[in-house]
Amino acid sequence: MRRFPRTPPRLDRVIPRNPVFFVTACTYRRRRVLANKRVAVLFVEFAERAYSEHNIAVGRYVIMPDHLHLFVCGPDDLELGRWVGMLKQCLEKQVVLGGSARHFWQRRFFDHVLRSDESYNQKWNYVRANPVRAGLVTNPDDWPYAGEIIPIDRI
């Protein structure tokens, strides 16, 4: 017998249906191998397939040299860990360090469910300024490895 046969009464107010996840994944030892056109194109293709085939929407994203940030929203039964694992695998195959990489990604990833009192736009404005804070560009709009794939209308 399961401990909670149904959702605990207040959990619906904390975690909405089809939640928006803020996800960060880092390369192993923070190798600077992600911010390039090849990876960006593959990332967008993966995200577009996720939407058309599985109704998983990748909203806004920023690909930094050693990590990536993205917002993702999917069906209630979305297995986020499995999906992020497939994304990591897909990008790793594209980069291939010296023929093969024993370790490419850090083992885990960071994820955070945006609660109803949090603003997607506020979180995005902070994330999109990452390339400026890292000294890569002076204006966030100049960073070529950021954008939005599927609009997620959470304010």
CA 30 to chain centre: 17
- Phi (first) and psi of residue 68, to 5 degrees: -135, 150
Question: If you write DSSP's letter for every residue of 26-83 in order, what string do you get?
Answer: EBGGG-S---SHHHHHHHHHHHHHHHHHH--EEEEEEE-SSEEEEEEE--TT--HHHH
Q: What pLDDT is stored for residue 23 in this prediction?
A: 97
pLDDT (0 to 100) of residue 98: 52
pLDDT of residue 128: 95
30 φψ region: left (φ > 0), alpha (ψ -120 to 50), beta (else): left
84 band by pLDDT with thresholds 50, 70 and 90? very high
Compute the average pLDDT of residues 105-126. Answer: 86
Q: What is the pLDDT of residue 96?
A: 64
Does the structure show a pLDDT above 60 at 5? no
pLDDT in tens, 92-101: 887 765 555 5
Structure tokens at 12: 């619906």
Gap between the Cα atoms of 49 and 62, Å rounded: 18
pLDDT, one tens digit per residue, over 42-70 is: 999 999 999 999 999 999 999 999 999 99
HSE-CB of 140 using CA atoms within 13 angstroms: 13
Question: What's the confidence (pLDDT) of residue 16?
Answer: 56
Query: 88, exposed or middle or buried, with CB in 10 Å at 0-12, 13-18, 19+?
Result: middle
Question: Does the structure show a pLDDT above 50 at 142?
Answer: yes
pLDDT of residue 121: 87
Q: What is the pLDDT of residue 10?
A: 46
Cβ contact 69:62 at 8 Å: yes
CATH superfamily name and code, 16-148: Transposase IS200-like (3.30.70.1290)
**Contact between 43 and 68 (Cβ < 8 Å):** yes
What's the confidence (pLDDT) of residue 103? 79
* Average pLDDT of the segment spanning 12-23: 71
- Burial (CB count within 10 angstroms: exposed 0-12, middle 13-18, buried 19+), residue 143: buried
Q: Where are the domains of the chain?
A: 16-148
